[in-house]
Amino acid sequence: MTTLRTSLPLDRLRDEVSGAPPLPALSGERYALTHDAYEAASDQRPRLQDWLARELPPLLAEHDPVRVVGVGVGDGSVDAPLAAALAAGGRRVRYTGVEPHPPSAVGFAGRLAAIGADALTPSVVIGDFADHDAGHPADLVHFVHSLYYVNDLGAALDHALTMVRPGGLLVAATAPLEPLCALMELLCSWDGHRPWFAEDVRDELDLRGLDVHAETLVGHLDISDVLADPCGRGEAVFDFLVGARTAAMTTVLRRAVLAYLSEVALPDGSGKVPHPLDIMIVRVPRPAGTASS
């Protein structure tokens, strides 16, 4: 069972939520729009793009072609810099994005095509990861901000592990259950399950006896518009934060959520909240006695 890494009082909010009707889910279109607004309000994205493009290529240096499967790639904004870095120097890259939301999948295809590297062969699979069969073993399977949503976390990780060839990498970038994500945990459910967070991912990897290297990227999300104008210019970021349509909140619940957000904001008056991301890297073991070529 995951517990929140904070001692901040959530009790008042919990009381309000327990008496309120469930909030309407975000449509696929609303999700994509609010995700863009959310990422634009945070400095986590450029840090993550830099990290992926800097740290992963050296870990995959021995592979040509290098085969990548990105799960839940959205519009490809974190995949494009990684694909470009892998293809630098003419190395052949086979890069597949799995994405259930068709317009986002089209965005992914466009971004990777725009890199214009002859050695890069992108492909996109529109659908749920659970239904995806990579065929050829991959050198890297990654989940960037996508494991929250899978129905069965253990099954998704097992599925990914069967796709990675021995010696290849499984990478999961997932937010920890910090004060920001506590809102989503309280207010949102997808297909009847609460979102999975980094602690859940770590537990599942540890259960499988895998050697996990973990890093945390610390970004900050600007919620000043949410606090000042939650039903207007702050609404998109507010919706994504909560994972549901905040316009349907009762006034009392909205007030409690905003009071909680004010409590977790930095004390410097900047209107920012910590926005950390845990990245876990697993090198899939080679069978005993095999060489590391």
Ligand X SMILES: C[S@@+](CC[C@H](N)C(=O)[O-])C[C@H]1O[C@@H](n2cnc3c(N)ncnc32)[C@H](O)[C@@H]1O
Closer Cβ to ligand X, 22 or 127, answer by number: 127
Q: Is 275 in the site for ligand X (CB under 6 A)?
A: no
Closer Cβ to ligand X, 73 or 258, answer by number: 73
Closest contact distance (angstroms) between CB of 49 and ligand X is 9
Taking the C-alpha atoms of 8, 13, 18 and 21 in order, what is their torsion angle to the nearest 10 degrees?
A: -140
Closest contact distance (angstroms) between CB of 285 and ligand X is 25
Closest contact distance (angstroms) between CB of 260 and ligand X is 22
Closer Cβ to ligand X, 66 or 144, answer by number: 144
Q: Is 160 in the site for ligand X (CB under 6 A)?
A: no
Options 34, 42, 44, 146; binder of ligand X; rule CB under 6 A: 146
Q: Is 199 in the site for ligand X (CB under 6 A)?
A: no
Options 56, 80, 82, 98; binder of ligand X; rule CB under 6 A: 98
Q: Is 128 in the site for ligand X (CB under 6 A)?
A: yes
Options 56, 78, 120, 182; binder of ligand X; rule CB under 6 A: 78
Closest contact distance (angstroms) between CB of 72 and ligand X is 3
Hey, how many other C-beta atoms are within 10 angstroms of the C-beta on 229? 12
Closest contact distance (angstroms) between CB of 263 and ligand X is 25
Q: Is 202 in the site for ligand X (CB under 6 A)?
A: no
HEC-encoded secondary structure of the chain: CCCCCCCCCCHHHHHHHHHCCCCCCCCHHHHHHHHHHHHHCECHHHHHHHHHHHHHHHHCCCCCCEEEEEECCCCCCCHHHHHHHHHHHHCCEEEEEEECCHHHHHHHHHHHHHHCCCCEEEEEEECCHHHCCCCCCEEEEEEECCHHHCCCHHHHHHHHHHHEEEEEEEEEEECCCCHHHHHHHHHCCECCECCCCHHHHHHHHHHCCCCEEEEEEEEEEECHHHHHCCCCCCHHHHHHHHCCCHHHCCHHHHHHHHHHHHHHCCCCCCCEEEEEEEEEEEECCCCCCCCCC
Q: Is 181 in the site for ligand X (CB under 6 A)?
A: no
Q: Is 175 in the site for ligand X (CB under 6 A)?
A: no
- Whether the CB-CB separation of 250 and 231 falls below 8 Å is answered with no
Structure tokens belonging to residue 228: 């000042």
Closest contact distance (angstroms) between CB of 118 and ligand X is 25
Q: Is 179 in the site for ligand X (CB under 6 A)?
A: no
Stretch in the footprint of ligand X (CB under 6 A) among 5-13, 59-67, 69-77, 250-258? 69-77
Q: Sheet holding 93-99: strands in order across?
A: 120-126, 93-99, 66-71, 138-144, 164-174, 272-283, 212-222
- Residues 99-118 close enough to bind ligand X by CB under 6 A: 99-101, 104
Options 144, 253, 277, 282; binder of ligand X; rule CB under 6 A: 144
Closest contact distance (angstroms) between CB of 90 and ligand X is 26
Stretch in the footprint of ligand X (CB under 6 A) among 13-21, 92-100, 111-119, 163-171? 92-100
Q: What residues line the site for ligand X (CB under 6 A)?
A: 35, 71-74, 77-78, 98-101, 104, 128-129, 144-146, 149-150
